[in-house]
A and B are shown apart, each in its own frame.
Chain A
């Protein structure tokens, strides 16, 4: 490489992502678009978090969070989701390295851990409704079920997305368009875990402490 070529290379590299150096690869553009969608999802959740933060003491004489929440279950739920995020990342990495058999193993683990999270959450909800602490009992419980339920719906959607991605890899193989969708799935799944960090901190830990 001549000196001019080296300077050109440095100039092109420093201009990347700032409008210079030519169009970005499709993969970067797709991930950016999906990232914008995820941020809009965060904005949706911020409204639900705000509602919960405002209403969490309005129990209308009904049960409070400290009486209803079982922190052991919440800890197991948290670990399930965190480990599924980890296996999802390893699955995406295996797919990028064109190791389909590893990808299927990690995808199955991700699915099982995500489903375990949902099962624990569904049992918690059923137990609360059974004790007469359903969403209609108080403003606190309405906002609780809306916030945690919306997250649960997202996890359910994520499991459908994951099953769909496994089917695509089976049928089409690890082609670039499939890999890009897989990247979007892993971004979605990691983003759900970020929202869960907010949920367990605000709803279960701070809620239980007061």
Chain B
């Protein structure tokens, strides 16, 4: 029957559809992982568990790990079709954030190095 085939994706535009994306369990798992990375960050910064010159790098890696946990478990960013646009937008946002932060640090460090020492 022709009619049978057509009802398959006959969604009315704008009609609400609830797909259970999250559960109490996924939030709790996210909280556990976030607490774990937070505690490790604080411990690493206050002790010599890591090779001391490597501590800032370790802290940045832990921060990225925790941000990943937040994105997946709290903001529910996934690889499903409903998230394609969100992921592309996020990638663009990350690019801009990286350009602003890394670019500023790079340029100012150069300016600083080439500055004639007047006060000190």
Q: Is A32 in contact with B89, judged by CB distance below 8 angstroms?
A: yes
Shortest Cβ distance from residue B38 to the other chain A in the assembled complex, whole angstroms: 6
- CB-based contact B101/A208 at 8 Å: no
Q: Is the interface of B mostly helix, strand, loop or mixed?
A: helix
Nearest to A58 among chain B residues (CB) is: B112
CB-nearest residue of chain B to A2 = B4
Q: List 21 A-B contacts (CB under 8 A).
A: A2-B4, A5-B5, A16-B81, A21-B9, A22-B9, A25-B11, A26-B14, A27-B16, A39-B89, A46-B100, A53-B104, A54-B108, A89-B22, A89-B74, A90-B27, A187-B75, A197-B63, A197-B66, A200-B38, A206-B59, A209-B45
**Chain B nearest CB: distance from A169 CB in Å?**
16
Interface string of A31-63 (1 = CB under 8 A from B): 110011001001100110111011000000000
Q: Which residues of B contact A31 (CB under 8 A)?
A: 86
Q: Interface residues, chain B, CB within 8 Å of chain A?
A: 4-5, 8-9, 11, 13-18, 20, 22-24, 27-28, 30-31, 34-35, 38, 41-42, 45-46, 55-56, 59-60, 62-63, 66-67, 70-71, 74-75, 80-86, 89-90, 92-93, 96-97, 100-101, 103-105, 108
The DSSP consensus for interface residues of chain A is helix
B60: A residues at CB distance < 8 A: 201, 206
Taking a contact as CB atoms closer than 8 A, the residue among B13, B62, B86, B101 that contacts A35 in the complex is B86
Q: Which of A51, A83, A197 contacts B104 (CB 8 A)?
A: A51
- What residue of chain A has the Cβ atom nearest to residue B90's Cβ? A39
* A interface residues (Cβ-Cβ under 8 A, vs B): 1-2, 4-5, 8-9, 12-18, 21-28, 31-32, 35-36, 39, 42-43, 46-47, 49-51, 53-54, 71, 75, 78-79, 82-83, 85-86, 89-90, 93, 96, 176, 179, 187, 190-191, 193-194, 197-198, 200-202, 205-206, 208-209
Does B56 contact A194, Cβ atoms closer than 8 Å? no
B104 and A50 within 8 A (CB): yes
Q: Which of A24, A28, A89, A208 meets B45, CB within 8 Å?
A: A208
Rounded to whole angstroms, the CA-CA distance of A85 and B92 in the bound complex is: 25
CB proximity of A66 to chain B, nearest CB, Å: 11
Complex Cα distance, B42 from A16, in Å, reads 42
3 closest A-B pairs (Cβ-Cβ)?
A: A39-B93, A17-B81, A50-B104
A201 to B85, CA, bound (A): 29
Whether the pair A14, B81 counts as a contact (CB closer than 8 A) is: yes
Could you tell me if A89 and B27 are in contact, using CB atoms closer than 8 angstroms? yes
CB <8 Å contact, B22 and A93:
yes
Q: How far is the CA of A116 from the CA of B38 in the complex (A)?
A: 18
Give every chain B residue within 8 A of A89 (Cβ-Cβ): 22, 27, 30, 74
Is B100 touching A43 in the complex (CB atoms < 8 A)? yes
With A4-B5, A90-B27 as contacts: A35 and B89 at CB distance below 8 Å:
yes
- Residues of A within 8 Å of B66, CB to CB, are 197
